[in-house]
Structure 1
Amino acid sequence: MRALPSVRVRGLVLGVACAALVGAVQAAPAGAAEPAPAPPSPLRLSAPGTDLALTPPMGFNNWNSTHCRAEFDEAMIKGVADLFVTKGLKDAGYEYVNLDDCWALPKRDAAGKLVPDPVRFPNGIKAVADYVHSKGLKFGIYTSAGTKTCDKLGFPGGLNHEYSDARQFADWGVDYLKYDNCYNTGVDAKKRYTTMHDALKATGRPIVFSICEWGESRPWEWAAGVGHLWRTTGDINDSWGSTLSIMKRNLPLHAYAGPGNWNDPDMLEVGNGGMTDTEYRTQFSMWSVMAAPLLIGTDLRKADAATFEILSNREVIAVDQDALGRQGAVISSEAGRWVVVKELSDGSRAVALFNESDRPQRIETSALAAGLPQARNYRVRDLWAHSDSSSAGTIAATVPAHGTVLLRISPERRGEFYPPAVELGPIGDWFARTDQPAQVSATLTNHGREKARAVSVQLSGPQGWDIRPTTPTRTGKLSTGITFTTGWKVKAPAGTRPGDYDLVLSAAYGSQEGKVKSEYPVRVSVVVPPQAGLSYVSDMPWVSSSNGWGPVERDLSVGGREARDGKPLTIGGQTYKKGLGANAPSVVHLYLGGKCSTLRASVGLDDETGTKGTVTYEVWADDRKIAATGVVDNSMPAQPVTADVTGAHSVRLVVTDAGDGTAYDHADWVDAKLTC
């Protein structure tokens, strides 16, 4: 950790499953993949325990769910170890149960030894390690490569105590050390971490060494052989903005990863409640494609069934734990449509189709682009739907907002037969009203070489919804590459409150393997048309909003992580009564219904960020970007933005991080008004 300042979604080819300040993470531009870095230099040291971490470590760390709160104690750690066994996590590959900060007393004893907190750990650390070991698991601990650890109370760090602390850890039975970076007194990082490497090696005990210096000294260039994994970013937090920013920072470093040497984009947030299950599946999918350590960061004693389902997906875990040890590489990332490919030891490819945006998008690549040889047919295994299909070479899906389709692709072997890969999904945004039917449409495309026969498409919704087809919903056959489009009129029942509702788009078709069914849950927004005249955006109902830090605020700055904790909107010393407080990446989506003409606002970084932060502002009408600023920083006064939204069904107010991470990006839309 770093101390400041020192739904299941389905529908592809098969079935698609879909800040506190984050250390000033440098994010790749969303529109293009960064070039691969130069390969790492030859190793000069041997890591302590050279046969350790040949695949990315898997386990648990308490920090993301407990921080230093009282619930972090011996009972919690033992409870997690028990759940690893009873819930099948141990059998799925998780093995390390790790303590983070706050396990010790604030001062060493007279002999200079670390002292476990007797309230949290009344039986000492060795007793906890022994309990973890009795379950067939391994035990990890935390300290910092400085004079203190990172919590605000400042527990004893390991700087100048490396050999004594390493010996104490080994005597306790420690198998994993996370070594942080706070209060380092300016000592060179390579020197500090190499000293602890030497101290761990001198104990003779195999201990996985996790270097946590936040990527500040580019450890991927020197830490191979010093440690087994190294943090590439600042701390993650349980928000979409943080997860996305960290993912972008880690993706370009694929050339540096390999057995015993892993890029570490920080721990999993799955189950902590700040994101949707779709977003948590994305984190788990992308961390696995990036060959990242999989360290559970939620209190498993409180976890729901969906959390265990995500964390226990053995097909996704197998991608992370593949013996070849390759980190996935980005092959495209246009307009937030990411394709990341990881070579696997059996010659197949894991392909992640990741949708960064806040709306469903179609993402396409090919087996050849993924690095596979020419073949007549390819087996497409959906690792979330656990289903197989056959593609002639196209790999595509309509991916939900913030979702990831994770596939395993390989040439079909002789004697293998799978149904044709069929892609099902909605077109554009789906809106519904209670006063009149809304028109929506969807497509079904055959990517297989075999014809899909007796094809039918259906749309169903909650009881009382009026859903009627406006086009034929059946066709006799669908050849390779052919798309079948269906249209529907959808009307919500009278009295339905504005908000999001789930409809189910389903398809059935025949093949030589028998009848195949596929479904795609579609999120429909029940909306109310805007009032005539001039309206402040902060007074209007929104279709949706997403934000990089806490919620988007109405008539306040974004402030902290909680709702309504901001301050008066202030740019360049001028305070505004009306507007939106956001933090990159942010999107506010409004329904216009073709009834509005002009959007006007002033934009700028809120004064609460001091002198830091850089963002850009964009206005999108339906699928078109109709206005944008250049890079805006805190030295600038409020910038005017005017956009012609005539005829648009909806508009999105977008804030990006300007390509340099989301830290301090508190971005205001002040006096934002629509004329309708």
Structure 2
Amino acid sequence: MNKNSFAKVPPMGWNSYDYYDTAVNEEQVKKNADYMAAHLKEYGWEYIVVDIQWYAHKAGSKREQFQYIPFSGLEMDEYSRLLPDPERFPSSAGQKGFAPLANYVHSLGLKFGIHIMRGIPRIAAQDHMKIKGSEVTADMAANPYSICPWNPDMYGLNHSPAGQAYYDSLLELYASWGVDFIKCDDICNTCNQSPHRENQYNAAHEVEMLANAIKRCGRPIVFSLSPGPALIDRAWHYEKYANMWRITDDFWDDWKYLKDMFRRCELWQTQVSEGCYPDCDMLPLGWIGKGFGKERMTGFTREEQRTMMTLWCLFGSPLMLGAEMTKMDDWTLSLLTNRKVLALLPPSCRPRQIFLDEDKAVWTACDEKEGTLYTALFNLSDETACVSVGLDDLGKEFEEDAALTDLWDGTSSRSENLEIRAILPAHGCVLYQVLIK
């Protein structure tokens, strides 16, 4: 099966990390799934993703000292494969894994995803544990020099039959659970690894091995690579083997990160295609940060939140919400349920940034199927400012002024003198559908 058939539009869903960090539990996942099914599913939101360290005992219990507790106990089967911690995920007891939770999510008409670290548990290598489908044990498949500098759980895998057998066994297990989405970490850009700083994509062989395992498992599973920044000169490799790849490191609710995304999106704007999505990372909206000891409403202003949603949708990024959905307010919900803005996501709506400097940015897109033209004007400065664009700069020929529909508030207007102009507040934007005869 062609991997691109797994994700014909950018995946849209929820990820537990921004609110819960390492400590999310089964009840919390279910409550967020219930909310999505009731309030967001009809708008295209469908993935429920359990993020990092679902297998770690007492994860998050020493957050003031460690994000990832060194040498903590890990739940594991006899074949070196990590299992959910039954204390946090009671339905997984008896090595049922995530199958019961995935079944619950599927019963709501949603899809289920998990985070994994690339490689094999270090403790499995140390104890010479078995690998299903191989005569070689974990210590011989592991590469002890390939380590993640910020998480102590795993060794990378050698490019070997034993390494492939391990990943094949993982995907066999995940498919049996009903997993629909995998976010693999410490794989998209490994520039922080020593002694491999000269090769920022030294885990490329593990991307290929995981992609091969997905093909063999018999289940369509979306394959997401993290963290960024992804390497533009390796775009062909990401596109060949993955469905999503992060173009930034962890993205949080600070204007400096959002402003920098215009540069990153410009770099990757021609690489968006069906089944292949440069990923701007999670949307830190609503209530976030509880697992980090800093529970708060997003630090983005409302103008910045609208700017973020406009850029992510216009660019065609996957949308993964980081909020605790059970605390969703009406404003945040309105950002996530605007059908006209979400309609920009499909790859048929080709994006293009036509202007960027320190103070402003202008994007345009044309839906190849519908023939619909869009433009977005962004004020990147810290003061109210006028941002404009000539109609001829949008890639179409205009003989007269065009009718404009604001996709956020639904108001109508017209261009003047073949130019679109808007007075925008600091960090604000406007998104128009441009109606041409």
TM-score (normalised: structure 2):
0.77
Aligned equivalents of 1:113, 1:275: Cα separation in 2: 39
2:183 counterpart SS class = strand
Cα distance between partner residues in 2 of 1:401 and 1:172: 47
The equivalent of 2:356 in structure 1 is 333
Query: Percentage identity across aligned positions?
Result: 31
Instruction: Provide the residue aligned with 2:333 in structure 1.
Output: 308
Shift of 1:152: 5.7
Is 2:175 the counterpart of 1:170? yes
- Contact persistence 1:348–1:372 (CA under 8 A): no
Which 10-residue stretch deviates more, 55-64 or 368-377? 368-377
| Gap change, CA 1:216 and 1:390, over 3 Å in 2 | closer
Q: Does 1:104 align with 2:104?
A: no
Provide the rounded CA distance (Å) in 2 between the counterparts of 1:155 and 1:350: 46
CA contact (8 A) 2:4 2:276 kept: no
| Residue 51, structure 1, aligned to residue 2, structure 2 | no
1:140 is aligned, of 113, 121, 126, to 113
Correspondent of 1:189 among 200, 203, 207? 203
Q: CA deviation at 1:141?
A: 0.8
Residue of 56, 60, 79 corresponding to 2:14:
60
Instruction: Give the conservation status (yes or no) of the 8 Å contact 1:146–1:181.
Output: no
| In structure 2, C-alpha distance between the alignment counterparts of 1:107 and 1:150, rounded to whole Å | 20
Q: Evaluate the alpha carbon distance shift between residue 300 and residue 318 of structure 1 in structure 2; reply closer, same or farther with a 3 A threshold.
A: same
For residues 222 and 32 of structure 2, what CA distance do their matches in structure 1 show?
20
For 1:448-494, what per-residue CA distance to the aligned partner results, in whole angstroms no more than 9, with x for missing partners? Answer: xxxxxxxxxxxxxxxxxxxxxxxxxxxxxxxxxxxxxxxxxxxxxxx
User: How far is the alpha carbon of 1:374 from its aligned partner?
Assistant: 2.0
Q: Which structure 1 segments of 5+ residues have no match? A: 1-45, 413-676
Q: How does 1:198-237 map to 2 (within 5 A)?
A: 198-218=212-232, 219-237=234-252
Instruction: State the match for 2:383 in structure 1.
Output: 359
Q: 1:295 pairs with 320, 337, 344, which one?
A: 320
Give the superposition deviation at 1:104.
Answer: 1.0
Q: C-alpha separation between the residues in 2 aligned to 1:240 and 1:143?
A: 29
Once the two structures are superposed, residues 422-467 of structure 1 have per-residue CA deviations (whole angstroms, 9 ceiling, x without a partner) of xxxxxxxxxxxxxxxxxxxxxxxxxxxxxxxxxxxxxxxxxxxxxx
CA distance in 1, matches of 2:152, 2:186: 12
Could you tell me whether the CA contact under 8 Å between 1:132 and 1:138 is conserved in 2? yes
In structure 2, what is the equivalent of residue 115 of structure 1?
83
The 1:133–1:201 alpha-carbon spacing in structure 2 relative to 1, beyond 3 Å, is same
1:93 maps to 2:44: yes
- Contact 2:55–2:84 (Cα < 8 Å) also in 1: yes
Structural mapping, 1:152-167, within 5 Å: 154-156=152-154, 159=157, 160=163, 161-167=166-172
TM-superposed deviation, 1:348: 2.1
> For 2:373 and 2:305, how far apart are their aligned partners in 1?
22
Deviation, 1:265, is: 1.5
Cα pair 1:223 1:230 within 8 Å, conserved = yes
The one-letter code matched in structure 2 to 1:281 is: R
Is the contact between residue 189 and residue 217 of structure 1 (CA under 8 Å) also seen in structure 2? no
* Contact 1:285/1:316, CA 8 A, preserved across alignment: yes
Is the deviation greater in 221-230 or in 167-176? 221-230
What SS does the aligned partner of 2:210 have?
helix
CA distance in 2, matches of 1:141, 1:354: 35
Post-superposition offset of 1:408: 1.3
Structure 1 or 2: more helix by fraction: 2
Q: CA deviation at 1:213?
A: 4.2
The 1:151/1:275 distance shift into structure 2, 3 A limit, reads farther
Count of aligned pairs? 361
Deviates more, 1:253-262 or 1:376-385: 376-385
| CA distance in structure 1 between the partners assigned to 2:5 and 2:206 by the alignment | 23
Q: Does 1:84 align with 2:36?
A: yes
| Structure 2 residue 372 is matched with structure 1 residue 348 | yes
Post-superposition Cα deviations, 1:568-611, rounded to whole Å, max 9, x if no partner, equal xxxxxxxxxxxxxxxxxxxxxxxxxxxxxxxxxxxxxxxxxxxx
Could you tell me how far apart the structure 1 residues matched to 2:313 and 2:229 are? 20
In the alignment, structure 1 residue 73 sits paired with structure 2 residue 88: no
Q: Which residue in the other structure is 2:275 paired with?
A: 260
Matched residue, 1:241: 256
Amino acid at match of 1:77: V
Question: Does the residue aligned with 1:56 lie in a helix, a strand or coil?
Answer: coil
Residue 162 of structure 1 aligns with an amino acid whose one-letter code is Y
Residue equivalent to 1:632: none
Q: Tell me if structure 2 keeps the 8 A contact 1:375–1:411.
A: no
Query: Could you report, residue by residue, the CA deviation over 1:157-176 in whole angstroms, capped at 9, with x for unpaired residues?
Result: 77433111111111100111
Q: 1:373 to 1:248 in 2, by over 3 A?
A: same
Tell me the C-alpha RMSD between the 2 structures: 2.3
1:323 offset after TM fit, Å? Answer: 4.8
Letter in 1 for 2:47: Y
Structure 2 distance, partners of 1:249, 1:107, is 38
Q: 2:100 aligns with which of 127, 135, 138?
A: 127
Q: State how far apart, in whole Å, the 2-side matches of 1:158 and 1:104 are.
A: 18
1:279 maps to which of 304, 310, 313: 304
Deviation at 1:179, TM superposition (A): 0.8
SS where residue 179 of structure 1 aligns?
Answer: strand
Task: Give the letter aligned to residue 224 of structure 1.
Answer: E
**1:411/1:266 CA distance change after superposition, 3 Å:** same
CA–CA separation in structure 1 for the residues paired with 2:175 and 2:155 = 17
Q: CA separation of 1:152/1:232 partners in 2, compared to 1, >3 Å: closer, same or farther?
A: closer
Q: Deviations over 1:501-546 (max 9, x none)?
A: xxxxxxxxxxxxxxxxxxxxxxxxxxxxxxxxxxxxxxxxxxxxxx
Where in structure 2 are the equivalents of 1:531-610 lying within 5 Å?
none
CA drift of 1:211 comes to: 1.6
Larger Rg: 1
CA apart distance, 1:217: 4.1
CA distance in 1, matches of 2:177, 2:86: 16
SS at match of 2:317: coil
The code of the aligned residue for 1:214 comes to G
In the aligned structure 2, how far is the partner of 1:144 from the partner of 1:383? 39
SS at match of 2:269: helix
CA shift, 1:215, in A, is 3.0
Q: Aligned pair in 2 of structure 1 residues 163, 97: CA closer, same or farther (>3 Å)? A: same
Q: 2:90, 2:41 → 1: CA distance?
A: 26
> 1:235 deviation in Å?
1.2
Is structure 2 residue 421 aligned with structure 1 residue 399?
no
1:566 alignment counterpart: none
> Given that residues 75 and 85 in structure 2 are in contact (C-alpha distance below 8 angstroms), is that contact kept between their aligned partners in structure 1?
no
Matches of 2:156 and 2:30, distance apart in 1: 26
Contact 1:258 1:325 in 2 (8 A): no
1:216 CA drift (Å)? 4.8
Tell me the secondary structure at the aligned position of residue 369 of structure 1: helix
